[in-house]
Structure 1
Amino acid sequence: MTVLLIFLTACGTATAPIEFAPDGDIIQQAIRLQLSQRLNPLSQQLNTKHPQLEIGQINVKNIDSIVVSELPTYHLQGTYNLKLILPRQQVNQKNNQFEIYLQRQAEGKTWRLLSKDNKKASEELSWKSYLITAQE
């Protein structure tokens, strides 16, 4: 009965349970995906190979839970260290800021990176969604 009560209470709120927030691997993959989305156009424009990325020392400083399209979504903010491996050099950056929205899918097995769609003219907030795939 208590579990049912908690479930019904959670359904009536506009937040997602923090205890189901993504783990470090998902956060790392989401940051990698977000960086790749930004670096790919630049690499194409410069006609260069996409740099190899190593992400570490992820420090989540703030986590908020919301519901987007009736699915639990987590807004995370924090810092991470980045190593860019280029053909002739390595670049190390420390304490890079990140802000990501991660959404657990209905079956609970996969996560999606959400980004606000600023191209929509309507007042209603819309989102773009990208599947986070396992690192190869």
Structure 2
Amino acid sequence: MLFFRQVCLCLLLSLFLVACGPATPSISLAPTQAIIQRAIALQLEQSQQQLSAQLETTDPGLKISHLKVQTIEPIYLGHLPTYHLQGQYDLEVTLPNQDVTQAANEFDLYLQRQQEGKTWRWLKPEPSETEGRDRWVSYRVR
């Protein structure tokens, strides 16, 4: 009888520990390949626009292909489901005089599903003045 009580107590404690663990968003709500491609394109366009402005050139055409998501880490940021995604993609850059293909480019993105579930935002961590804490800047993924 004592053994039975100990087993029941252990099971009950285990259940409480699991129930108190951190909640994570469902993987089934993770962004689609199309959303991830658009977020990578947004990230690339931002850096290309800054570079093109400095060099006083036109923005090149960009085409993302062969997207491979290698890790998905679901987390909550600001009480909204967020997915930390890492992987690789190939990139075709169309320049005025030539086309360039870059294979196996790595990406590391945070994508956040908005409350209504219809839109996504790319979250970009930026160092803040408070040491050890990043500030998140968000951009709508179209």
* Same fold at TM > 0.5: yes
Which structure 2 segments of 5+ residues have no match?
A: 1-17
Match of 1:15 in 2: 24
Shift of 1:42: 0.5
SS at match of 2:24: coil
What TM-score does the superposition give when structure 2 sets the normalisation length? 0.82
Pick from 91, 95, 117: which aligns with 2:126?
A: 117
Q: Deviations over 1:64-91 (max 9, x none)?
A: 0110000000000000000000111000
What TM-score does the superposition give when structure 1 sets the normalisation length? 0.86
1:1-136 alignment runs, 5 A limit: 13-118=22-127, 120-122=128-130, 123-133=132-142
Against the structure 1 CA distance between its residues 26 and 96, is the aligned structure 2 distance closer, same or farther, given a 3 Å change threshold?
same
SS at match of 1:117: strand
> Which amino acid in structure 2 is aligned with residue 125 of structure 1?
D
Q: What is the identity percentage for the equivalent residue pairs of Structure 1 and Structure 2?
A: 48
> Which amino acid in structure 1 is aligned with residue 106 of structure 2?
Q
SS at match of 2:54: helix
Computed over aligned residues only, the root mean square deviation of the Cα atoms, in angstroms, reads: 1.6
Shift of 1:121: 1.2
> Which amino acid in structure 2 is aligned with residue 34 of structure 1?
Q
Distance 1:29 1:81 in 2: 14
Which structure 1 segments of 5+ residues have no match?
A: 1-8
Q: Deviations over 1:85-135 (max 9, x none)?
A: 0111000000000000000000000000001021x11143320000011xx
> Which amino acid in structure 1 is aligned with residue 101 of structure 2?
N
Q: Which has the higher contact order (CA 8 A, sep 6+)?
A: 1
Count of residues paired in the alignment: 123
- In the TM superposition, structure 1's runs of 4+ consecutive aligned residues that sit over 3 Å from their partners are none
Answer 1 or 2: which has greater helix percent. 2
Q: Deviations over 1:11-65 (max 9, x none)?
A: x734211110000100000000011111111000110000010000000001101
